[in-house]
Amino acid sequence: MNAGQPPRSVTVSAPAKVNLALHVTARRPDGYHELDSLVAFADVGDRLVLEPAAAFALEISGPFAGALADVPPDDNLVLKAARYLAEAWPGHFSPVRIRLEKRLPVAAGIGGGSADAAAVITGMLRLFGRPEESDVDERLRTLALELGADVPVCLQGRPCRMQGIGERIVPLSGFPPLPAVLVNPGVPVSTPAVFARLGLAPGQPAGSGLPQPLPSTDAGTMQWLEWLSTCRNDLEEPAVAEAPVIGACLRTLTALPAVRLVRMSGSGATCVALFDQMDASEEAAQALAEKHPDWWVTACRLG
C-alpha cells in the first residue's frame, strides 16, 4: 500500500440461496433446463474480505475450507468472478486479494460458489465504484450468468421468482421472513448428474411452472406456507436416486414437531424445514444436531 493511501478493504456476506420451489419446465435445445423457481436467502452464509493487491489471490478458511482444498485457486468461481470483472472493464478494476471464510457446505444446492461469486462482484463494485456506462447493469447480468446460472439471483440477494435458466428474475415484495432449519447430510451432489437423471431430451417440455397466482404482496406467513405446499422441487427424486441419504434426511425433517413444510433445495443435498415460529425452528435444529452430529444443521431466517 502506498504511503498516504489508507488501506482499504470491504467485507461482504454471501448468504445461502434456498430454492423453496423448483419446477423444471423444459430442456432447452442446448441441454440446459428451463426452471420456474422461488428463491429466498438465509441469514447464514460465507464471508469474504476483499482488498486491492498487486495480483489476484485467494485464501480460504472456515469449517468447509477443506472441501475446496483440491480445487486449483484459478478454477475457483471466486477468482474467476474477480478476473472476469477486471477483464470486462480494464483500467477500472484492479487485482484483489480475497479471503473467503467458507461456512456453507460445498456442492450442496444452496448456491455456495454462486453466492461467493456474486459477493465478489458486489465487493469489487464497492471497492472500485461502478463503471460509468449506461448499460452497466445489463453487462453485469450477462457476466453473472456466464459465471453460473444461479449467480444473477445471488446478486439480487432477496426473495425472487427465477425463470429460464436463471436469467429472468423478478424480486418479490412482501415476502415474510420464514423461520427455517437447513440440513445437509454430508454428501456432495453433482448438479449435472442430478439434471441428467431427469432423462429429458434436448428441446423436450417437462412439468408445469409455479402455481398461479403467486401470493399477493400483503400475504402473511401462513398464506405463503400454504402456497409453497402446492409447489415442488422436481430435482428431489433424481437427487434421492443419486444420494439416498437425502431421502432419509427428508423423512427425518418431516417427522419434526411443528414443521410446516419440508423440501430439498436446488439439486441437493441440503434440505429445508419451514416453521411459523423462530423458537420452533431453533428447538428443531438443536434436537437434530444432537441426533445427527455428522449432519450440518443450522436454524435461520429466510427472506
Residues involved in catalysis: 17, 150
| Residues 80 and 153 sit within 8 Å (Cβ to Cβ) | no
Binding to ligand C5P in span 152-171, by CB under 6 A = 165
The answer to the question of residue 17 lying near ligand C5P (CB under 6 A) is no
Q: From 50-58, 170-178, 191-199, 210-218, give the range in contact with ligand C5P by CB under 6 A.
A: 191-199
Which of 17, 33, 260, 263 forms a contact with ligand C5P (CB under 6 A)?
Answer: 33
- For 203, phi then psi, to 5°, come to 90, -5
Query: What is the biggest distance separating any 2 CA atoms in the chain, rounded to whole angstroms?
Result: 61
CB of 193 to ligand C5P, least distance (A): 9
Question: What gap in Å lies between CA 147 and CA 102, rounded to an integer?
Answer: 19
Which of 109, 123, 148, 157 forms a contact with ligand C5P (CB under 6 A)?
Answer: 148
CB of 145 to ligand C5P, least distance (A): 8
The answer to the question of residue 150 lying near ligand C5P (CB under 6 A) is yes
Question: What gap in Å lies between CA 280 and CA 178, rounded to an integer?
Answer: 12
Provide the grid cell at 179: 423461520
Q: From 36-44, 89-97, 148-156, 169-177, give the range in contact with ligand C5P by CB under 6 A.
A: 148-156
Per-residue binding string, ligand C5P, 39-78, x by CB under 6 A, is ----------------------------------------
Which of 60, 117, 140, 149 forms a contact with ligand C5P (CB under 6 A)?
Answer: 149
The answer to the question of residue 84 lying near ligand C5P (CB under 6 A) is no
CB of 190 to ligand C5P, least distance (A): 8
Question: What gap in Å lies between CA 121 and CA 89, rounded to an integer?
Answer: 12
The answer to the question of residue 103 lying near ligand C5P (CB under 6 A) is no
CB contact set of 171 (below 8 Å; sequence gap of 6+): 156, 158, 159, 160
Find the angle CA(176)-CA(156)-CA(75) to the nearest 5 degrees.
130
Question: What gap in Å lies between CA 274 and CA 94, rounded to an integer?
Answer: 42
What is the four-CA torsion angle of 27, 190, 19, 82, rounded to 10 degrees?
-100
- For 163, phi then psi, to 5°, come to -130, 175
Which of 14, 21, 22, 35 forms a contact with ligand C5P (CB under 6 A)?
Answer: 35
Binding site for ligand C5P (CB under 6 A): 32-33, 35, 148-150, 165, 191-192, 195
